[in-house]
Amino acid sequence: MGRKEIPMRKTMFDTLIRNLKNLPPCDFPDTEKLQELSSDMTFEQLQTFAVLLVSKGKASYYYGKISLKNGRLLT
């Protein structure tokens, strides 16, 4: 059997966003960890996450997509 993707639970996501909002930019996780976190998010969660990353300067908009500082696109 193949592995079924399980979306991140709402409470877990809300806690993650709250914690990231309170972190200073120098204490943010590295881009690989941010990419890993985003892999379990629903589309709506990913949009909220992307806006937060852009506001903290950890990502930028690139032709309608979100580009992390290491050049990878947020998926």
Asked whether residue 28 carries a pLDDT value surpassing 80, the answer given is yes
Q: How far is CA 29 from CA 5, 33, 70, in A?
A: 23, 6, 13
pLDDT value of residue 8: 75
Share of the chain above pLDDT 70, in %: 89
DSSP state string for 36-58? HHHTT--HHHHHHHHHHHHHTTS
Which contacts (CB < 8 Å, 24+ apart) does range 62-69 have? 68/31, 68/34, 68/35, 69/31
pLDDT band at 40 (very low <50, low <70, confident <90, very high): confident
Question: pLDDT tens digits for 1-27?
Answer: 444 556 678 899 999 999 999 998 788
